Amino acid sequence: MPRLTGRLVVASHNAGKVREIAALLGPLGITPVSAGELGLPEPEETEATFIGNAALKARAAALASGLPALSDDSGLEVFAIGGDPGVYSARWAGPNKDFGAAMQSVWEKLSAAGDDRSARFVCALALAQPDGSVETFEGEARGTIVWPPRGEKGFGYDPIFEPLGLDRTFGEMTHEEKLPRTHRARAFEKLVASLK
């Protein structure tokens, strides 16, 4: 595994995700630059798994930029509705990224499915080199779905996800409180361990 130093492309156009990844990369002395800043296109996510989509995005960014690239594919899996929205988490929000509507849809389907409110956020990280090689890492954060949504912080489905053992949603936590508890932080722990 090549050591990571200098610049790294974060293969995402999602500002919230880029901010979280940049914060996790900071202690490693890596300077992240987003795919959006470099004007790289967003490849279509055609894989059926988080790992598959993360690898596809990282490889495309590394090949286009000539730099190592890190991609994250993540989403919410609600067990009582068959793991939906899963890899389609962003698509449930539609072209206008209306996560209010997406959360409403999750709640309606969940309410019709019974009393189980358990869910998890999943994060798959893929680190690609310009030669096309890719390594992947996965993390999760387990919790429950709550209604109505609570909190204005975070992004995506954060206002309806209450992590296990806590009585606040990710949407009610500051960035600093939320980050160490996330699926993304758990995947990063595995990536960092691989660099040592």
Sign (positive/negative) of CA torsion 138, 57, 10, 174?
A: negative
What is the full DSSP assignment across 124-161? EEEEE-TTS-EEEEEEEEEEEE-SS---SSSSTTGGGE
73 is catalytic: yes
Cβ atoms of 160 and 146 within 8 Å: the answer is yes
* Strand 134-145 with 161-163, pairing: antiparallel
Q: In the structure encoding, which two tokens stand for residue 45, read together?
A: 């996510």
φ, ψ (nearest 5 deg) of residue 41: -70, 155
176 CB contacts (<8 Å, ≥6 apart)? none
Q: Exactly one of 72, 73, 84, 158 is catalytic; name it.
A: 73
- The candidate with the shortest Cα–Cα distance to 72, out of 6, 129, 139, 118, is 139
Catalytic residue IDs: 73
